[in-house]
Amino acid sequence: EEIVQTSSVWARALLGRPPPLCADTDEQRATIGVRPAGAFLFTPDRTELQLWGACDFPPEQIGMRIPADLGLPGLVARTGEPLVVTNTEEDPRFLQIIATGRAGSTVQAPVKVNGDCLGLVFAASMAKNVYWPEDLEALLVFADLTAAAIRASGDLSRFDPPRP
């Protein structure tokens, strides 16, 4: 959890966003805005993606799990390909996952170790037209940092696909 949370700080810095102040209350959300970020990593059986290092998510969604094929996170995790959606209203693949409001723009990058996709890192904004291809370039660096931290932990067993 700490690795991904620290990486969230790096991601915000790389994306040129304000310091990663996570809004914990409705008053803070109104003041600093909501720009959810974090990582969805596969559960050991690879049937779900679990939220780690979440910033700007309501408490009840911290650690939440979603089906591994749900929406844009599922697409990135399944294909191992990054994506940028500048306006989610124009993308039919978009499904609302975040309870704080509809994401208007998102950038997502796969986290790969030894060629295997372990999940993804992402940033979203409630506003449209916030994230662009140049933001993806920065997020790919963050995804590599996250992968390096996972690799350095020395325990990839939780990411091993189930054996028959």
Residues of the chain predicted below pLDDT 70: 1-35, 56, 99-101, 155-164
pLDDT in the model for residue 107: 92
pLDDT in the model for residue 35: 66
pTM above threshold 0.85? no
pLDDT in the model for residue 3: 47
DSSP-H helix ranges across the chain: 2-14, 26-32, 71-79, 133-152
DSSP code for 82: -
* Full residue range of the structural domain in which residue 140 is found: 2-152
pLDDT in the model for residue 1: 44
What are the beta bridge partners of residue 45?
none
With b meaning 16 or more CB within 10 Å and e meaning fewer, what string describes 87-121?
Answer: ebeeeeebeebbebeebbbbbbbbbbeeeebbbbb
pLDDT in the model for residue 84: 94
Q: Is residue 50, in this structure, part of any structural domain at all?
A: yes
pLDDT in the model for residue 97: 79
Q: Is residue 103, in this structure, part of any structural domain at all?
A: yes
Say which CATH number the domain at 41 has: 3.30.450.40
Rg for the chain (alpha carbons), in Å?
15
Q: Is residue 116, in this structure, part of any structural domain at all?
A: yes
Number of domains in the chain: 1
Q: Is residue 163, in this structure, part of any structural domain at all?
A: no
pLDDT in the model for residue 51: 86
DSSP code for 28: H
Q: Is residue 160, in this structure, part of any structural domain at all?
A: no
Q: Is residue 64, in this structure, part of any structural domain at all?
A: yes
Q: Is residue 21, in this structure, part of any structural domain at all?
A: yes
Q: Is residue 9, in this structure, part of any structural domain at all?
A: yes
pLDDT tens digits, residue range 62-109? 788 999 999 999 999 999 999 999 899 999 998 887 766 678 888 999
